[in-house]
Amino acid sequence: MRPSTHSGMIAVIAIVAGIAGCSGPDDSTTQPCAGGYERRDDGNCYPSADTGDSQDTGDTGEPADSCGDAGPPELSDSSWTEAAKVPGGGILSLVQGPGGVPMYAGSLNSGLWSSDDRGESWMRQLVQGTHTLADLAVSPDDPEVIYRSEGGVLKRSETGGSPWTTLPLGYVTPEGAASVFALAVTPHDASRVYGVLDSGQTYVSTDAGDTFTEMGQLAVMLMTGGLDPYNSHAWTLLPEASPGGRVSFTDGESFYTSDDGLATWQSRFTSALGGHSLRRNPTNPDHLLIGANDGLLESFDEGDTWTLRDVGAGIALAAWAEDGSWLAVASADTLYVSEDGGATFIGRPFDWIETKALAIVGAGADGRLVMSWDNGVVVSDDRGQTWTDSSTGLVDPGMSVAAPHPLCPNRVYVASRCSGGVYASDDYGTSWTHVDRYFHYVMGIHYDPSDPSTVWAVSDDRLDVSRDGGASWEISWMIYHFHGFAIDPGDSQTLLLGSVGSGNWADTSMRVYASTDGGETWVDSSDGLPTSTASAHTIAYWPGNSDVVLLGTYKGEDPSHFSGDGEGAFLSTDGGATWTAAALPAVNIAWVSPCPGGMVATTEDGLYRSLDEGVSWQRLDGPEGFLLSADFHGDLGLVLGQDGRVWRTDDGGDTWRQLDDGLSANPTSFLAQIAIGADGSTAWATVFEQGVYRIGLTD
């Protein structure tokens, strides 16, 4: 049975691939825009005064209605309303109390979730860091006591969620990280907690995590793919079944055992393994299972010897019923169920999934099974014969980017500040589809002004590009922590990219890099910039003169950009080759954006504007406080503040008025975006931990 609300990658292509159909000309800003649009001095396409259907798009020949027929929703023009909830996913760990209550779901995308109805619906638990980097662990004495590797740092809650206590295992600093990648609580002693760092160093606590003792070192396989759910979550630590028993561990490449409480480890064998399939039979502690590329490995002596069972290829997950009455194992596309202790299996293909299942749990003899995948959770009450979507309440609130399509007013991308990635809507945000690609901490989405079917996504550790409107993506460059990005409006092969001088994937200093071949090669273009831990945060070409470029720098001394300061603004008059300090009296500049006649900069001290190619700047009356983003559509402009206040101008920035409330603010966020749709009828705002909002814009 296909779940009712998720349709996988097929839907992504159906929505996003259509963007190419309303693209502008291929390679010249002098050619006509799409029907109903005109090219202005800044090189971009805007709705024209004559929006009749008689125009075409030049080379593409697509009519104006190629954007689709979704009409604008009825929106208030005085207050913000929340768009549809962005669906949550990336659930990489599922654990449960007795009988499946409570159930916890750990997401690499959006933190921690709990369910009191065996996975039917979910409630978000408040956590500071959204990345769940290991299996969750629950106390055998009290299922409200839960352990979680939060961004690599071990945390404990004694109430099934907030508040949390930080435990002395794992750390993340601008200089580096030592992350907890596997953890477990022994079933016979709730005070005995195990942890394994990404280095392979193991630890034991005998006081429920308050203190830890360093134990043996594992020769684990290092991650070669970065922070990726399909390799960082192959690590599983299986505690002993009884005091003094054997502990097992896999990193997805090797299987290890320890018979002395983690003091020493023995490597038993090396093979490609499904880490989340390392499980113990609840009725026979000597009986272990682990998936392999060519079947299911089974041991009846706690891992001394193994037999390969020809169940199916690529077994990655496994779950026993609590009473041992049945067993389920899963590959990428098939569930195999055994009701005789693993002697025989029945294969049940998934007809609803085009990507990997990520976690699985089963509870009791009644056939209940809960499984997660990229886009949410599904449940079965008949041991996998039929499935229903069970993602109610499971959302990704970590939005930081809003990118309306420059020609199609109904189309918009939003993206997550964490690892949820990119989501697409073809109906003004009434519904969302997850772009089936791993992105981490998306900082910006940028359309090629001469061909909007080319889309760039900047994230913490790489620059991605799609040349077919988002249907497929490729890595353009992967080396540093990137933030700022700009495309020359007169030559889309010329790109500028800003790095960050601190945090994970840090550059040796804040820098700007330039490409003149569409991202194929890059050169350092930082002449004149100081050595700094700050972020080269926001870059913009001057409207009508690509020789003039403005760079705004920003906080960068910790991974969340809460601390430290930027270095102010810098100006280039040679297309980004060299830089000098700009006369903009602000240290932290969150956004620079074209406006009528010039450019505006949102800063920690209000809004500044320049009308003379960045030579001088004036602070504008109206918008005040720490401002995060600005956008203009002709003379209509909006500015978003950190406190959630939004200001509007209808005269190009000369005068401003504050919009009514309705936008839920997150005062701890330093990353949020406001953007106006292609036809000026709708505006979008993303606020981290709050979601996506929209408002109608009328004259």
Per residue in 152-200, pLDDT tens?
Answer: 899 999 999 889 999 999 987 766 788 999 999 999 999 999 999 989 9
* pLDDT at position 658 over 60: yes
Provide the percentage of residues in the chain whose pLDDT is more than 90: 57
* pLDDT at position 37 over 70: no
* Residues recorded for the chain: 699
- Position 63 scores a pLDDT of 33
- Position 511 scores a pLDDT of 96
* pLDDT at position 225 over 80: no
- Position 222 scores a pLDDT of 57
Among the listed residues 569, 597, 565, 595, the one whose alpha carbon sits nearest the alpha carbon of residue 583: 569
Which residue shows structure tokens 């590797």?
A: 149
Measured between alpha carbons, how far is 389 from 371 in angstroms, rounded to an integer? 10
* pLDDT at position 142 over 60: yes
What pTM did the predictor assign?
0.79
Q: What is the pLDDT averaged over residues 624-648?
A: 93
Residue 269: other Cβ atoms inside 10 A: 11
Given this structure, which CATH class describes domain 126-258?
mainly beta
Residue 267: other Cβ atoms inside 10 A: 12
- Position 304 scores a pLDDT of 97
- Position 403 scores a pLDDT of 96
- Position 621 scores a pLDDT of 95
* pLDDT at position 650 over 70: yes
> What is residue 232's three-state secondary structure?
helix
CA angle 624/629/630 to nearest 5° reads 85
290 burial type by CB count under 10 A (0-12 exposed, 13-18 middle, 19+ buried): buried
* pLDDT at position 35 over 60: no
Measured between alpha carbons, how far is 107 from 178 in angstroms, rounded to an integer? 20
pLDDT tens digit sequence for 414-435: 998 776 789 999 999 999 988 8
CA angle 598/599/600 to nearest 5° reads 140
Tokens of residue 504, six digits: 């994970």
CA angle 618/621/625 to nearest 5° reads 95
Residue 73: other Cβ atoms inside 10 A: 15
* pLDDT at position 47 over 50: no
Full DSSP string of 580-593: EE-S---S-EEEEE
688 or 593, higher pLDDT: 593
Whether the CB-CB separation of 282 and 241 falls below 8 Å is answered with: no
Cis peptide before 102 (omega within 30 of 0): yes
Most confident segment among 179-183, 373-377, 578-582: 578-582
197 or 108, higher pLDDT: 197
Task: Note the CATH architecture for domain 81-86+395-696.
Answer: 7 Propeller (2.130)
The DSSP H or E segment spanning 13 is helix 8-16
Handedness of CA 388, 392, 398, 403 (dihedral sign): positive
Tokens of residue 485, six digits: 């990005």
* pLDDT at position 613 over 60: yes
- Looking at residue 425, its amino acid is S
- Position 65 scores a pLDDT of 45
Among the listed residues 80, 52, 53, 66, the one whose alpha carbon sits nearest the alpha carbon of residue 21: 66
* pLDDT at position 685 over 90: yes
Q: Say which residues have a Cβ less than 8 Å from residue 243's Cβ, sequence separation at least 6.
A: 188, 189
Q: How far is it between the farthest Cα atoms of the chain? A: 81
* pLDDT at position 603 over 60: yes
Measured between alpha carbons, how far is 235 from 243 in angstroms, rounded to an integer? 23
Measured between alpha carbons, how far is 293 from 413 in angstroms, rounded to an integer? 36
- Position 176 scores a pLDDT of 72
Which residue shows structure tokens 């891992």?
A: 303
Measured between alpha carbons, how far is 112 from 131 in angstroms, rounded to an integer? 9
Grade residue 357 by pLDDT with cuts at 50, 70 and 90. low
**DSSP at 224:** S
* pLDDT at position 411 over 90: yes
Measured between alpha carbons, how far is 148 from 159 in angstroms, rounded to an integer? 13
Residue limits of CATH 2.130.10.10 in the chain:
81-86+395-696, 126-258
Whether the CB-CB separation of 520 and 500 falls below 8 Å is answered with: no
